Structure 1
């Protein structure tokens, strides 16, 4: 799987470089948004686990549009701290998780009309999660590199500013903390 992801990224980079030689310089963009994700905790031997549903967090991203269709994008999302209460053998406990996700992806955009376009992203993500628990021996750290994918839509307010809405998947599911499925709304500025 990692070889496939690497091959996809290398292929996208090579196509982007070849395309860039035949056209004008890439158009750069930056953006920011608010992401929402649900947290989940799987605590061994727990008789009950409760956590607060969706949490909001910040996202920043930047990219280079090679042409009207293709771009390369990188981004960072803070998974925010989440908390869960649980009971193991009649003893209550509390766990907190924190983390982040970062990605590099190729992006393909298709215009729906002169203001609206849809896009898909495919690349690789690096995620890191850390859990601290009031129960001895349950503290954990997980770091992972895995596939990243996203689907979204953007609405162009003018040539420089667009509003975005997207669904993103940061790799595979972890035993604790933020689920890998994020919903993001934000804005993008083209230079």
Structure 2
């Protein structure tokens, strides 16, 4: 994880240097990448195993948008939530379940500058989620499948401008529930680096 964060920060500073910073108020397009942390959990009826049913998975996202003014933007992105798996026991029989999920989102973004470098923001829009769950054993018919679902997308976070072109952000994103309630849960935390063109 430290290597990913270091690479993200080094890449951001390589694009723009660490000169005097300015909050993004230029009209125009932007693009970015991020590191995503999401919770995965499995809940199977009559499971008698003592395994760890929840985990935190690390993955990534890409996003882009158009800054309309210093307060408003339109943004879209793709988030990969990674994959996870779980070994269970039901009725004395062992089984295995795994999931892989990702989402696309489109949202309006509102920002409020705190000072020349720091701003807080919120995003509201829609997310198209895909969750694939596969498994073996007695619980397989009840917990597996391939499901797509459109949900409300919302996020809150903060953004720190390194200079006129590059900024870093930290946010909590809500993508909504999956149609199959195994694997990825509805929220994620992401650290992103953005470049203004």
Normalised by the length of structure 1, the TM-score is 0.83
Mapped partners of 1:93, 1:154: distance in 2: 44
CA deviation vs aligned residue, 1:64-107 (integer Å, no higher than 9, x gap): 01011000000111111111121111112111100101100000
Name which structure has the greater RCO, CA cutoff 8 Å, separation 6+.
2
Mapped partners of 1:91, 1:134: distance in 2: 10
Mapped partners of 1:50, 1:86: distance in 2: 10
What is the CA distance between 1:26 and its match in structure 2? 4.0
- Superposed CA RMSD: 1.5
State the SS of the aligned residue for 1:158. Answer: coil
Mapped partners of 2:33, 2:133: distance in 1: 27
Report runs of 4+ in structure 1 exceeding 6 Å deviation. none
| Matched residue, 1:16 | none
Mapped partners of 1:179, 1:69: distance in 2: 30
Normalised by the length of structure 2, the TM-score is 0.80
Contact 2:27–2:70 under 8 Å retained in 1: no
Structure 2: gaps spanning 5 or more residues: 1-25
State the SS of the aligned residue for 1:80. Answer: strand
2:166 corresponds to which of 158, 161, 168:
161
State the SS of the aligned residue for 2:116. Answer: coil
Structure 1: gaps spanning 5 or more residues: 1-24
Contact 1:83–1:96 under 8 Å retained in 2: yes
2:121 corresponds to which of 119, 122, 140:
119
- Count of aligned positions: 167
Mapped partners of 1:171, 1:86: distance in 2: 26
| Matched residue, 1:8 | none
1:40-119 matches, within 5 Å, as 40-48=41-49, 50-119=52-121
State the SS of the aligned residue for 2:190. Answer: strand
Contact 1:52–1:83 under 8 Å retained in 2: no
